Amino acid sequence: MDICDGFVGAIGRTPLIRLSALSAETGCEILAKAEWLNPGGSVKDRAAWGIINNAERAGQLRPGGIVVEGTAGNTGIGLAHICNARGYRCIIVIPETQTQEKIDLLKTLGAEVHLVPPAPYSDPNNYQKIAGRMAAEMEGAIWANQFDNTANRDAHYSTTGPEIWEQCAGQIDAFVAATGTGGTLGGVARALKERSDKVRIVLADPAGSSLYNYVYHGTPSSSSGSSITEGIGSSRVTANLQDTPIDTAYSIPDTESVPMVYRLLYQEGLFVGSSSGVNVSAALRLAKELGPGHTIVTVLCDGGARYSSRLFNSQWLAEKQLLPAG
Ligand code: PMP
């Protein structure tokens, strides 16, 4: 019998997919972890469960308790599912700049959604800080705090990383991923380096994020440009990203990642979101740099349907001057 226990039992053990056209083009194995196939539709189901499970075990979250989080969407969606499955109330603070699809889905799932204007991390009205204050003021509530709660990274250290290693039978030269909270990159990097210090860890950073400069100069400062991607890039080094053994970084502009999303859709048959475009663009750059014969693993973080009104809306893309040719 192969039966998993409820929603949380279905998280993880996602397929590792060979990207055929890109692998043929480069002579490398370019492999992508299909994280949009998690039951809540994104890589963040792993972090959401890691955080809730940890709080339950520590006795911070009790039956009937409340989970509060500031999120760009996917963590909130994962948390809302898990809260339903385990009987918690879910309160989500989300910047109003995120796609309507994610906001509507959160409401459908029964989360209490607080839309807030975008504000930098240094501002007390930043969505993460609002979530932290709300949780502190409510009896029986925890703040998931995905950015600095390392239960997020631990979830990837104990699941995503070992899954990748086993799926490749240890034949892996590099792992490439963009980071939002740093949970995926931080956890997977540690798990892989522990098994082989030869595995190269590569950060894919969207334009305008500060992490590319952090890798090369040691302090986070904004790279040039801006990005339409959601859920990735950062102005600071979170606790989850801290001390991650990163070997190389690429700054990926939207003019590269958006066409890649369409390549994934029409050449590989994979309908995924913008951060996946950044990840695979960086994997392709690395494959070209390393040359044929290498195995490069990356992540397809969420599905394309969450971005129908933007990334897959030609009028919107044309306004941003990002409409791919052809
Ligand atoms: N892609 C998407 C679409 C996301 O929502 C996130 C998380 N915000 C990431 C990538 C990055 O994952 P992590 O938080 O583990 O760095």
187 pLDDT higher than 90: yes
- Beta strand 112-116 with 200-206 is unpaired
Catalytically annotated residue among 33, 44, 102, 193? 44
Radius of gyration of the chain (CA): 19
Which ligand 1 atom is at minimum distance from the Cα of 275? 1
284 pLDDT higher than 90: yes
Does the C-beta of 231 come closer than 6 Å to ligand 1?
Answer: yes
Average pLDDT over residues 279-283: 98
What is the structure's pLDDT at 160? 99
What is the structure's pLDDT at 86? 97
Does the C-beta of 193 come closer than 6 Å to ligand 1?
Answer: no
Amino acid letter for position 114? H
CATH 3.40.50.1100 spans which residues of the chain?
Answer: 7-42+160-320, 43-143
Q: Domain 7-42+160-320's class?
A: alpha beta
Does the C-beta of 301 come closer than 6 Å to ligand 1?
Answer: yes
- Beta strand 174-177 with 200-206 is parallel
What is the structure's pLDDT at 211? 97
Distance of alpha carbon 262 from alpha carbon 28, whole angstroms: 21
> Which residue's entry shows tokens 């941003």?
320
What is the structure's pLDDT at 132? 98
| Residue 44 appears among annotated catalytic residues | yes
Confidence band, pLDDT 50/70/90 cuts, at residue 262: very high
248 pLDDT higher than 90: yes
Distance of alpha carbon 67 from alpha carbon 75, whole angstroms: 12
Q: Which residues of 39-60 are buried (b: 16+ CB within 10 A; e: fewer)?
A: bbbbbbbbbbbbbbbbbbeeee
Of 276, 277, 282, 274, which is closest to residue 313 (Cα–Cα)? 274
Cβ partners under 8 Å of residue 129, min gap 6: 70, 121, 123
Nearest CA to ligand 1 atom 2: 231
220 pLDDT higher than 90: yes
Domain 43-143, CATH number (from 3.40.50.1100, 2.60.40.10, 3.30.2320.80, 3.40.50.261): 3.40.50.1100
How many beta carbons lie within 10 A of that of residue 249, not counting itself?
21
Distance of alpha carbon 263 from alpha carbon 32, whole angstroms: 14
What separation in angstroms does the CA of 263 have from each of 21, 87, 118, 302, 311?
9, 41, 31, 16, 13
Confidence band, pLDDT 50/70/90 cuts, at residue 275: very high
Nearest CA to ligand 1 atom 6: 231
How many beta carbons lie within 10 A of that of residue 193, not counting itself?
18
What separation in angstroms does the CA of 250 have from each of 7, 118, 193, 256, 320?
35, 26, 20, 12, 22
87 pLDDT higher than 80: yes
Rounded to the nearest integer, the mean pLDDT of the chain is 97
Q: What is the DSSP letter of 204?
A: E
Q: How many residues does the chain have?
A: 326
Confidence band, pLDDT 50/70/90 cuts, at residue 73: confident
221 pLDDT higher than 90: yes
Does the C-beta of 274 come closer than 6 Å to ligand 1?
Answer: no
Does the C-beta of 102 come closer than 6 Å to ligand 1?
Answer: no
- Put simply, whether the predicted model's pTM sits higher than 0.95 gets the answer yes
1 Cα: distance to centroid of ligand 1 (angstroms): 33
Distance of alpha carbon 4 from alpha carbon 63, whole angstroms: 22
What is the structure's pLDDT at 53? 98
Average pLDDT over residues 200-212: 97
Confidence band, pLDDT 50/70/90 cuts, at residue 206: very high
Longest CA–CA separation in the chain, Å? 57
Distance of alpha carbon 326 from alpha carbon 323, whole angstroms: 9
127 with 119: CB under 8 angstroms?
yes
Which ligand 1 atom is at minimum distance from the Cα of 44? 7
188 with 199: CB under 8 angstroms?
no
Share of the chain above pLDDT 90, in %: 96
Give the pLDDT confidence of 122-161 residue by residue, as tens digits.
Answer: 999 999 999 999 999 999 999 999 999 999 999 999 999 9
